[in-house]
Amino acid sequence: MEWDAILNRGPFALWRWQRLWKDSSLFAEGLLITLLVAVLALLLALGLGIIFGLFSTSRFKALRVVSRCYVEFFQNTPLVIQIFFLYNALPYAGIMMNVIHIGIIGVGVYHGAYVSEVVRAGISSIPRGQLDAARSQGFSYLQAMWYVILPQTIKIILPPMANQAVNLIKNTSVLALIAGGDLMYRADSWASNGTLSYGPAYVVTGALYFLLCFPLVSWARRYEEALKARGGRPLAVKQKKRSAL
């Protein structure tokens, strides 16, 4: 009797899994949208992170203030509110955007603030003398950053950057709140459409997010261990300690 309830009437009943398999194309479409938003939002976050990371280490106070305002605002307001603002408030100003574009901009700008802090910490970890030496050789500030400081910074910030990419992928699920067509939205819509098959839907959705995120986390962990073995300075540990304060 217990097995009958599990296989035929429970939240994970066999027929629910069969129905999910039949409609698997819906989940595949949601996964593609999630990947699209994640990739484009990550590119936006990297661009903003590098720009504001450079601002935060600039000798000009105005640029440091601008960077600090950007970082503090987006790190200290919920992503959900930012997405709702883009979705609900901008139309009153005559600005209409597709929900996919809202997701890319909202998630990208939000994570750009965190990437900016990673870039700032990475640049700060390079001895100041290297910048001074480059300037003494006739490099401008931007040239010194581009040719001397940033190449050394990249290998240090890769692990925390990978962790930021993982957080960004997971945060794309916020699009479900504005009917963004992403993986989470497709799963919730499918499950609530008559049969209430939330069990299989959320298990499969969680597994797909795991498959997207776990390789990045594993790579970051291995890279950090290799960096330690070579005598490098793992920035991820410093960032973790800083965020816990």
CATH number at residue 100: 1.10.3720.10
- Structural domain contains residue 7: no
Per the domain annotation, does 92 fall within a domain?
yes
Residue 127 domain flag: yes
One digit per residue, the tens of pLDDT, for the chain of length 245 reads 465 555 566 777 888 888 889 999 999 999 999 999 999 999 999 999 999 998 998 888 999 999 999 999 999 999 999 999 999 998 888 888 999 999 999 999 999 999 999 999 988 888 878 877 887 888 887 788 888 888 888 888 888 999 999 999 999 999 999 988 899 999 999 988 877 888 899 999 999 999 999 999 999 888 888 877 776 555 543 444 343 33
Is 4 domain-assigned?
no
18 found inside a domain: no
Whether 168 maps to a domain, the answer reads yes
Query: Domain span at residue 166?
Result: 23-244
CA angle 234, 76, 47 (to 5 degrees): 55
Is residue 198 a part of any domain in this protein? yes
Q: Nearest 5 degrees, angle CA 29-CA 31-CA 36?
A: 95
Domain count, the chain: 1
What is the model's pTM? 0.86
Q: Which residues contact 165 (CB under 8 A, 6 or more apart)?
A: 38, 42, 216
Confirm whether 9 is domain-assigned: no
